[in-house]
């Protein structure tokens, strides 16, 4: 399913931060193609939004690349 990036809730930031190299890779992919080329992110419904379970770098990179939606799958159970 396609999920609007504006409806994705990111989990708390990990102490190690984010890998800017991974973000740059996903940003480049987002700008180069309109086809989903990565594994879908995993989300869990939370009210009108989607709580991100896996795929933080993909979400940030695709948002920076100008995308408005990302391919997602429902994760089993709770994300936290």
What pLDDT was estimated at residue 24? Answer: 83
Residues in Cβ contact with 78 at an 8 Å cutoff, skipping those fewer than 6 apart:
44
CB of 38 closer than 8 Å to CB of 46: no
Chain segment 2-20, per-residue pLDDT in tens: 999 999 998 887 777 778 8
- Computed over every residue of the chain, the mean pLDDT equals 84
**H-assigned helices in the chain:** 20-32, 56-64
- Beta bridge partners, 73, equal 42
d(CA 38, CA 61): 12
Chain segment 51-70, per-residue pLDDT in tens: 999 988 889 888 888 889 99
Chain segment 17-56, per-residue pLDDT in tens: 778 888 888 788 777 776 665 689 999 999 999 999 998 8
Q: Structure pTM?
A: 0.78
């Amino acid at each position: 399913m396609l999920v609007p990036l504006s409806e994705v809730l990111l989990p708390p930031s990990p102490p190690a931060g984010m890998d800017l190299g991974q973000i740059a890779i996903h940003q480049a992919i987002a700008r180069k193609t309109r086809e989903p080329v990565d594994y879908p992110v995993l989300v869990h419904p939370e009210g009108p939004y989607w709580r991100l379970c896996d795929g933080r770098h993909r979400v940030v990179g695709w948002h920076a690349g100008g995308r408005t939606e990302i391919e997602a799958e429902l994760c089993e159970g709770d994300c936290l």
